[in-house]
Structure 1
Amino acid sequence: MADTVREIERKYEAGGRTAAARLPDLSRAAGVAAVAEKGTAELDAVYYDTADRRLAAAGITLRRRTGGTDAGWHLKLPAAPQGARDEIRAPLSASVPRALADLVRCRVRHAELAPLVRIVTRREARHLLDADGALLAEVSADTVTADRLGRGGRSAHWREYEVELGPGAEPAFLDTLEPRLREAGLRRSAAPSKLARALAETEPETEPETEPGTKPAADAGTGEPRKSRRRPAKKRGTAEAPAPVTAGEHVLAYVRAQAEALLALDPAVRRDLPDSVHQMRVATRRLRSAFRTYRGVLDPAVTGPVGAELRWLAAELGVDRDREVLAERLRERLAELDRALVLGPVRARLRRWAAARGKGSRKRLAALLDGERYLALLDTLDALLADPPLLPAAARPAPAVLAKAVVRDYGRLATRVERALATEPGPARDTVLHDARKAAKRARYAAEAATPALGRPAARLSGRMKAVQTLLGDHQDSVMARGALRSLAAEAHAAGESTFTLGLLYGREEQRADRDERELPKVWAKASGTRWKAKLGA
């Protein structure tokens, strides 16, 4: 069984000749009541990754460590706030535990996880405690030896200092310690982790390229063939990318961000973290919206099939999510009623209804994310970004191209809202309003994607479209709630139970839908001002 620990830490290195050789004295730092010496430990860790370092590129580390108080397998995933990581632990075993391998499957896919680097750390540690004896932070001085495993691997040695926040301590405590660490001659480490530094400093030696039939140049001092050392490779994903200029660069930057969000949310969905399924669906929707909105930039003959697969994924993710949201809405509405109006076992029936629809959902989602169709979709997205199907408009300056696409999606929404307002109340209007909601979402995402190029006017439009989408989304939720209440009432009636409360809830949902429909003209009037078109340059 894997355990999870939230890790928030900062790493430091010597900043000059005056830097402390040992841990600095932090006993007088604000909030520190006592300092406990924890002695010295030797930690021996082997880090695993694919041959092309897919985990390192995503800021993920997987290691098997012995020594210390937390020996075992550790998987570290980036987490919020920025700089934090979730460390997921599993007991020692000979091979990578299945629970951890599953969490990185979306990155690894069919590649092999193999030992990459061995890092041995001699750690001297102290605990900073508050007046109640609670741990504020562990401060350690680490003497590190890193060895690249495999042919041609090199070794590296360094000393670093680490401050890891204690459980329950406020992140601001790290800022409290910062001035005292600087006074001791320490500065923030340039490497985000030991693994990142090890990879940079232990690159295998490579022979220089020579013409066929020639020998490498001899070293002037030894007469032996001269070896060339390849410069340490920069960690993928850390280099500053040039700012997008063309329409194609802007659209690809947005698509790349959403594809990365999809990958980052995969382990969160597997861990059943709050709102993770919803956010993963949002990433798929944003990708599909970008493909459809910017079809003049990216060839729809290529993106169309990818969009169809994203639609499939969103639908699969939504099976349990939609039911969960609907059940929560009905529970909230039931809780609003006076107890005297709750007749019969309504709460028990709602619990059974919700449980029946959520049964096995985690297993179903895990099977979905392990499935070949999903993994093939991820491969397809990688291929699309590696060799994007750019059309001639992609080379043009971004503002004109993106503004035209945004205006087109806005016009699509305007047509649907006007059609909805002209439709008589009832099922037909419900359908048209649902179509308008989807158009509002697409217009919102179109403006959102264009904001880096078009600035504030696009950002404001995105906010206005979100307001329309929210109103229409509440209306659609009411439609779905009424359908569920009808089914629950039929079941209750067949069981000889009172249906009074379910009918009352149905009536209240009708009132909410009617209120939303009456609010729509006002919300639309506020959102549909066209001065933003001139500001966009459209």
Structure 2
Amino acid sequence: MANTTTATLSTTYRGPAAAGAPRLAGLPGVSTVAADPQQVLETERYDTDDLRLSAAGIELSLHRGDGTAHWQLRLPDGDDEELLRLPAAVPDVEGVDPDGPPGELDELIRGVRRDRPVRPVGRVRTVRVRTGLRGAGERLLAELVQDEVTIATLGGSTDLSSWTEIELRRVEGDAGLLTAVEQRIREIGAAPAPRGAAAALDRLLIPAPPRRRRAGKKGSAGAVLMDYVGTQVDRIAEQDLRARRDEPDAVHQLRVAARRLRSALQAYGPLLDCSRTRPLVAELRWLGQALAPARDIDVLRERITAQLDRTEPELVLGPVRAQVTRYFARAEAEARAAMLTELDGQRYTALRLALSELLTDPPLTRRAARPARRELPRLAARSARKLERAVTGALAADGTHRAEAVHTARKKSKRLRYATEVARPAVGGDAKRFGRALKGMQRALGDHQDMVVARGVLRELGAQAHSAGENGFTFGLLYGRDVKAAQQIEARLPELWRAAWATKNRRWLP
């Protein structure tokens, strides 16, 4: 904020606590000085006892004043337009805690606070007096807003700070009036300064520095692995918040981060004590399964809707789109409710805590101290051999077992691609090229799996249409198209495999 009185609409000054009001009598052009009744405004900052919200860049506060109260939540990197505001609960309502955040806000922060409740940790109390300076005809020339600000931390120990803050707002007054008012403000010991209550409270509520992440010696296999693990753990935390806000693609990204992390722990298991990582792998698999319905419903809805968009209108018989909309609206609501139940549960909380502990106290083995450039390719080669066996099995499978065998090859391909991602910082371009080649095959096999799952939904939609006396022809048509498209991918599998498994792509593997 600029601090000139001739070119700005407002200027803020700060002075010592209880500095008193500036003299406002006898100002040029001012005929009336009128002060409004005093207001008392309070803002309470809520956090866990170890300030987890502050550490994550989240600000949760309860605002009271002028006979109203509301909750406010600022999420990381959010601006004022993205603030979430909700009215505070009315006291004395049965079953409602007027001092706790609303469920809608707590749902968003639950993944950060985890097993810790939130409580008031700091308070800003402002006693405000607004004074108008009026000229001839009661024309408002300028306005002074004087605040007596007191901030305090709440808890085991209390820190206090207080000062006087004055904002001079120019309305229609000329520069001479503003200069005179500024001189009177300076007489009480105030000087231009930005508003600082929120920043001062932030300084008092600095969370303890997080425990330092350990990764082993630079350039070692363990260091490269733990750097990748840390990235995925951070991504889980980030996408958890986005998923709770129901943002696009958030559930998918949360699931991918969990899957990447699980694949890394499995592919590079010899670098870590398996007694610590085996339970984590199991819990990450559970998390992926818990997120799967919500993610799969999104994919299926988009797929079937897109198929209908590409279908000739004369082949869409009956209220097909309405039925699809009803089916997925209910399925999405049920899947999202189930997902949030799992994310709010103790099992997920325990997993997040265990992942934090993994980063600060990684159970690295002796093998993890070996050079990454030599050790990571050796371990990635194990995943490569598993993929080779899976693809060989898929190519040999008959029609009855072909879909299942292709799905197994897809999972092994994904695991190898993620293992390649881990090794990329140590290996360089060769690993990147191999990962790109694997992604091409994996995308095709992913489409194949989507078709297999979609056929079950299309069959169900067709049966529902028949039971309701409607025409199920369109759903049968889409089913047949998916069967044909899946068969085409199966026929292309040898070609996809040759492109991905080319010698030049895997020359970095021993």
What TM-score does the superposition give when structure 1 sets the normalisation length?
0.69
Provide, for residues 478-534 of structure 1, a one-character-per-residue CA deviation record: whole Å limited to 9, x for no partner.
112222223333343455543332222122112221332343333333322233444
Residue 60 of structure 1 corresponds to: 58
Distance in 2 between residues matched to 1:411 and 1:516, nearest whole Å: 23
**Residue 403, structure 1, aligned to residue 408, structure 2:** no
Higher mean displacement: 515-524 or 268-277:
515-524
Q: How does 1:188-337 map to 2 (within 5 A)?
A: 196-200=202-206, 236=210, 244-337=218-311
Distance in 1 between residues matched to 2:42 and 2:60, nearest whole Å: 13
Q: How does 1:432-443 map to 2 (within 5 A)?
A: 432-443=405-416
Equivalent residues of 2:213, 2:361 under 8 A apart:
no
Distance in 2 between residues matched to 1:319 and 1:408, nearest whole Å: 31
Equivalent residues of 2:211, 2:360 under 8 A apart:
no
Higher mean displacement: 83-92 or 97-106:
83-92
Distance in 2 between residues matched to 1:400 and 1:159, nearest whole Å: 64
Offset at 1:365? 2.5
Equivalent residues of 1:196, 1:235 under 8 A apart:
no
Equivalent residues of 1:74, 1:89 under 8 A apart:
yes
**Residue 92, structure 1, aligned to residue 92, structure 2:** no
Instruction: Say what the alpha-carbon RMSD is for the aligned residues.
Output: 4.1
**Residue 457, structure 1, aligned to residue 430, structure 2:** yes
The gaps in structure 1 that reach 5 residues or longer are 1-11, 13-18, 28-40, 124-141, 161-185, 187-191, 201-232
The gaps in structure 2 that reach 5 residues or longer are 11-38, 90-97, 129-146, 166-191, 193-197
Offset at 1:471? 0.7
Residue 444 of structure 1 corresponds to: 417
Offset at 1:442? 0.7
Give the direction of change, closer, same or farther, for the CA distance of 1:116–1:492 in structure 2 (3 Å limit).
Answer: closer
Residue 76 of structure 2 corresponds to: 78
Residue 106 of structure 1 corresponds to: 111
* Identity %, equivalent residues: 42
Residue 344 of structure 1 corresponds to: 318
Distance in 1 between residues matched to 2:498 and 2:476, nearest whole Å: 34
Distance in 2 between residues matched to 1:65 and 1:393, nearest whole Å: 55
Structure ranking higher in helix proportion: 2
* Bigger Rg, which one: 2
Distance in 1 between residues matched to 2:482 and 2:213, nearest whole Å: 52
Offset at 1:25? 5.5
**Residue 354, structure 1, aligned to residue 328, structure 2:** yes
Offset at 1:331? 1.9
Residue 7 of structure 1 corresponds to: none
Residue 49 of structure 1 corresponds to: 47
Equivalent residues of 2:294, 2:339 under 8 A apart:
no
Residue 132 of structure 1 corresponds to: none
Equivalent residues of 2:214, 2:360 under 8 A apart:
no
Residue 134 of structure 2 corresponds to: none
Distance in 1 between residues matched to 2:377 and 2:164, nearest whole Å: 53
Give the direction of change, closer, same or farther, for the CA distance of 1:431–1:360 in structure 2 (3 Å limit).
Answer: closer
Residue 342 of structure 2 corresponds to: 368
Matched letter for residue 460 of structure 1 = R
Residue 423 of structure 1 corresponds to: 397
Matched letter for residue 63 of structure 1 = S
Distance in 2 between residues matched to 1:253 and 1:437, nearest whole Å: 26
Equivalent residue pairs, number: 433
Equivalent residues of 1:277, 1:317 under 8 A apart:
yes
Provide, for residues 395-414 of structure 1, a one-character-per-residue CA deviation record: whole Å limited to 9, x for no partner.
22222222222222223222
Distance in 1 between residues matched to 2:203 and 2:215, nearest whole Å: 21
Equivalent residues of 1:259, 1:381 under 8 A apart:
yes
Higher mean displacement: 282-291 or 105-114:
105-114
Matched letter for residue 50 of structure 1 = T
Distance in 1 between residues matched to 2:66 and 2:123, nearest whole Å: 16
